[in-house]
Amino acid sequence: KDNALEESSQPGSSDKPVLLYAHGWQRGAYKNPAPESFITSQEVYGEERDVAEPWLQAGYRVLCFMWVPFADESDLATAEQKIWTAGKDQVQRWRNRDGNFQDVRGATGIGQ
């Protein structure tokens, strides 16, 4: 890998600690047009609040790994398996906004 390129594409200063947020299983998420974010919903919580702000003020880089289309499965085991099993010969599927599944070949997972 070209480390200079990799480091230059990272948000913020590399000497800061990192908080990485990754959402969980998202059954039925294709029905929600609003993407996951750090801003709370006025309708649900009674106010909009950036819940990442305290971490940012404490000096952290706050990152969010969005895998909603891949996590949108009818059961947890199927969604979780995508994290650990992947590779050039395997097919991963994701759900589009219409609720239909699309196949992706060659996605790399954590287990690789």
Output the pLDDT for position 10.
55
Output the pLDDT for position 57.
94
- Spans of all domains in the chain: 3-105
For the entire predicted model, the pTM comes to 0.59
Q: Between residues 66 and 72, which one has the greater pLDDT?
A: 72
CA-wise closest residue to 28 among 71, 77, 82, 80: 71
Q: Between residues 63 and 85, which one has the greater pLDDT?
A: 63
Instruction: Find the angle CA(108)-CA(110)-CA(112) to the nearest 5 degrees.
Output: 60
pLDDT tens per residue across span 19-61: 888 878 888 888 876 767 788 888 888 999 998 999 999 999 9
Length of the chain in terms of residues written: 112
Q: Is 71 exposed, middle or buried (0-12, 13-18, 19+ CB in 10 A)?
A: buried
Output the pLDDT for position 3.
46
